[in-house]
Structure 1
Amino acid sequence: MSKTQTQRLLSLDVFRGITVALMILVNNPGSWGNIYTPLEHSKWNGCTPTDLVFPTFLFLVGVSIVYAMERKLGNPANHGKLILGALRRGALLILISLIIQVILHPGFAQLRYPGVLQRIGLVFFICAVLYIKTSQRVRDWVCVISLVGYYIIMCFLPVPDTGAPSLEPETNMGAWLDRVVFTTNHLWVQSRTWDPEGLLGTLPAIATGLFGIRIGTWLKRKDRDDSVKVSWMFTWGIAAIVLGLFWDLFFPINKALWTSSFVLYAGGWSIIGFAICYWLIDVQGYKNWTSFFLPFGANAITAYVLSDFIPHYINLIRINDASLYQIVFLPHFSPNNASLVSAVVTLLLLWVIMLVLYKRRIFIKV
């Protein structure tokens, strides 16, 4: 924990805060049976605004790597220390996820091994090593190879269980690999036969992080002015979206599989969203509207962890065998609106906690 904070790119914290706030909002509805469509994940193929939240966070992980490590890369003697630090942070993120599960759902027999924090930890470590030890040209090639390689694996290699390639939930190559490595007892609780944050899907997710590193290194350049930087960010973002939509024709955009077309499509929107924030905040100086999101962005992992604990324990409160959601929200709103208002109240409650930390200059580092 630190009482001080190094100089940061304000738009990075704000855009990360927006992403975390959306993540909390969509993860904590009053009722999972009553959700407005934009706040739901796609049933399978396709992409809703909610599907863009997690890849945007991974994209920003890549940008953050550049801003955290760039000044230390000049001295090769620092590389080993940086890699060990990245390994520690990646492992700690995975450990935190497992600890959360044990606390909220005691027992190890059905502990879910893949997960959101696990994917963040793996992508962060691998992307950090690539940033420390390779050039941007090499990283671009790694990005291309990972996306094309994943496409070949998923669409052309026969799955051992069935003897044929598949992009269906339970019969694709990623699902087979997760059952072999983790066993069905340790996969996503809603299925136990496949996992949306599975092991094989980490390969294209690395490309999402590398998108962020490319944008971070671009913003760090001293030989381009801000208007050129932002113009090119919009150009790259639009190009990625178009390429993603084209690839969708034969490798569908799918968040659960983290398909290569999804990486391009979601990455394009992440770049555009970040470009808008950068232009408004760091170039034009429009900062008055950022105060709500900064506390989330400055303590992103803390906010995410608390969003698991606080709603869980609130939902355990019962009055005459009815939950607070059933007592406070459901009688006064339509089912969908009650669910949304409950999610907004949860978001505001967490914001108050994060604001206290932010005002006291407490930034919890993982």
Structure 2
Amino acid sequence: MASAQLGTQTAATTVQAPRVVSIDVFRGLTMILMIFVNELASVKGLPWWNYHAPGRVDAMTYVDMVFPAFLFILGMAIPLATERRLSKDPSHRRLWGHILLRSLSLLVLGLILANASAGDPALIHMPPSVWAILALLGAILFWMVYPQPETGKTLVKALRIAGLVLMIAMFAIFRRTLKDGGAAWISTSYPEILGLLGFAYLTSCLLYIPTRRWRWASFLWLIPLTTFCALCSAHWIEFPHRVGLYLWPFSNGSHTLIAMAGVATSTIFVGQQSRHWPTVRSRILAALAFAAVTLIAAYLLTPLGISKIRATPTWSLYCVGSSILLFTLLYWICDVQRHTRWAAFTRPAGANTLLTYLLPDLWYFAIRSLHITWFRTHFAWGMPGVLRAVVFTGFIIAIAAVLTRFRLRLQL
């Protein structure tokens, strides 16, 4: 994900401002919680609120709020990354090229993870888990942030080319077996979380960048997005379900709505637009008012249902309001009061998010390739299972910390 930095302060000067710690902390906490709940999903015998709420039930749990938090923080990074990129290179053509490539990269990674267990070993001539490891290895080689010594440019270029060739080869050989016995290529029906983030990133940029100079644009975009989401949930508009994400990347508008709320929140606290809220008090009051409006709107739209699976506007807006409140609290603690030592454990996940995201999957694929089942058959019930999820989360974060310390980092 894009690094969070303050952009230029005026049109005439380009000043690199201090890093906004609360954005990295929020991102890190979200990543850590995602690892935990994904591991917890295989644990049985816990209260219902430890799992995703069923699609037919009007309810949401804290688990249903993790993905929206990712969308929200993705949106928060967009204005900062845009300002930084344009300050270095004012070409809008290259900016849009970067946006399209980044969206495509997230989609490619999502398709690898979504198809990792679907490959037919008889057709791809290797276990699906090995295929997934090789495909992700190619991605890591291609998107790794390498040091840039003058003498090592040839090696870096060779590693990137090798990674790209490996990814292409894995996609080329992939085959899965359909229910009727026929063979098929990569399934694109569900692009996994990373692919959904890629679509949300693209659609948010499509709305934000052309209108970014208008103070209230990012807030006003939330009105048509919420309306569209509500009409889709009420089944007054049906075409997004029929044409799919690849023809209509907005889907029913819910993911773009959450990401755009992150964009709006970012303009309050950081970047060029934050000059309209010059004091800490004004920023916090604006954020609290914004959160209150979204929570009230969520309550008013309750008749349309509360569901992550159905991506209803009530679910979207409750998640938005909660994310605004949480970020405001973190901003007060980390950036105003300067209390950051408590959040040291979030730094690897906050600064090296993409690699941290892939580590659990690489672990699962590795133990599956080695036919190790112990981790899934032990501590799989009740509080021992919760303890297992906590230990596993700490294990992944520790690995991410070591890799980050050795400057092994991914960036799209």
The TM-score, its normalising length taken from structure 2, stands at 0.71
Q: 1:149/1:31 Cα in 2 relative to 1: closer, same or farther (>3 Å)?
A: closer
Choose which of 344, 348, 351 in structure 2 pairs with 1:291. Answer: 344
Partner SS for 1:291: helix
Q: Deviations over 1:70-110 (max 9, x none)?
A: 24447994222111111100100000111234444323437
Question: Equivalent residue for 1:8?
Answer: 19
- Give the letter for the 2:236 counterpart: L
Q: Deviations over 1:10-36 (max 9, x none)?
A: 110111110011111111137353344
- Equivalent pairs counted in the alignment come to 327
Question: Equivalent residue for 1:209?
Answer: 259
1:365 correspondence with 2:411:
yes
1:242 correspondence with 2:290:
no
- More off after superposition, 8-17 vs 38-47: 38-47
- Give the letter for the 1:309 counterpart: L
In structure 2, C-alpha distance between the alignment counterparts of 1:158 and 1:300, rounded to whole Å: 36
Q: Deviations over 1:176-227 (max 9, x none)?
A: 555x989xxxxxxxxxxxxxxx966452211111101111111121352112
In structure 1, C-alpha distance between the alignment counterparts of 2:291 and 2:29, rounded to whole Å: 19
Question: Equivalent residue for 1:129?
Answer: 206
Q: 1:35/1:301 Cα in 2 relative to 1: closer, same or farther (>3 Å)?
A: farther
CA RMSD of aligned residues (A): 3.0
Q: Deviations over 1:154-194 (max 9, x none)?
A: 314376xxxxxxxxxxxxx765555x989xxxxxxxxxxxx
Contact 1:73 1:132 in 2 (8 A): no
- More off after superposition, 29-38 vs 114-123: 29-38
- Give the letter for the 2:288 counterpart: F
- Map 1:28-107 to 2 at 5 A: 28-29=39-40, 31-44=42-55, 45-73=58-86, 77-106=90-119, 107=175
Q: 1:144/1:228 Cα in 2 relative to 1: closer, same or farther (>3 Å)?
A: same
Question: Equivalent residue for 2:375?
Answer: 324
- Give the letter for the 1:326 counterpart: T
Contact 2:228 2:252 in 1 (8 A): no
Partner SS for 2:221: helix
Question: Equivalent residue for 1:111?
Answer: 187
Q: Deviations over 1:248-274 (max 9, x none)?
A: 1x2112111211122211100000011
Choose which of 283, 298, 302 in structure 2 pairs with 1:229. Answer: 283
Q: Deviations over 1:26-64 (max 9, x none)?
A: 111373533443321111321111111111110100111
The structural deviation recorded for 1:236 is 1.7
In structure 2, C-alpha distance between the alignment counterparts of 1:200 and 1:216, rounded to whole Å: 21
Contact 1:122 1:202 in 2 (8 A): no
Contact 1:59 1:208 in 2 (8 A): yes
Q: Deviations over 1:241-299 (max 9, x none)?
A: 22212211x21121112111222111000000111111100110111111111111111
- More off after superposition, 109-118 vs 233-242: 109-118
Contact 1:30 1:343 in 2 (8 A): no
Partner SS for 2:409: coil
In structure 2, C-alpha distance between the alignment counterparts of 1:119 and 1:101, rounded to whole Å: 11
Q: 1:291/1:181 Cα in 2 relative to 1: closer, same or farther (>3 Å)?
A: closer
Contact 2:68 2:320 in 1 (8 A): yes
1:352 correspondence with 2:363:
no
Choose which of 229, 236, 249 in structure 2 pairs with 1:157. Answer: 236
Contact 1:244 1:261 in 2 (8 A): yes
Q: 1:140/1:323 Cα in 2 relative to 1: closer, same or farther (>3 Å)?
A: same
Contact 2:231 2:237 in 1 (8 A): no
Partner SS for 2:216: helix
Contact 2:232 2:252 in 1 (8 A): no
Q: 1:73/1:284 Cα in 2 relative to 1: closer, same or farther (>3 Å)?
A: same
Partner SS for 1:293: helix
The structural deviation recorded for 1:301 is 1.9
The structural deviation recorded for 1:356 is 1.1
Query: What is the identity percentage for the equivalent residue pairs of Structure 1 and Structure 2?
Result: 24
The structural deviation recorded for 1:360 is 2.9
Question: Equivalent residue for 1:189?
Answer: none
In structure 2, C-alpha distance between the alignment counterparts of 1:34 and 1:201, rounded to whole Å: 35
Structure 1 residues without counterparts, runs of 5 or longer: 160-172, 183-197
- Give the letter for the 1:350 counterpart: I
In structure 2, C-alpha distance between the alignment counterparts of 1:71 and 1:292, rounded to whole Å: 27
Partner SS for 1:140: helix
Contact 1:59 1:209 in 2 (8 A): yes
Choose which of 291, 304, 318 in structure 2 pairs with 1:251. Answer: 304
1:271 correspondence with 2:324:
yes
Partner SS for 1:292: helix
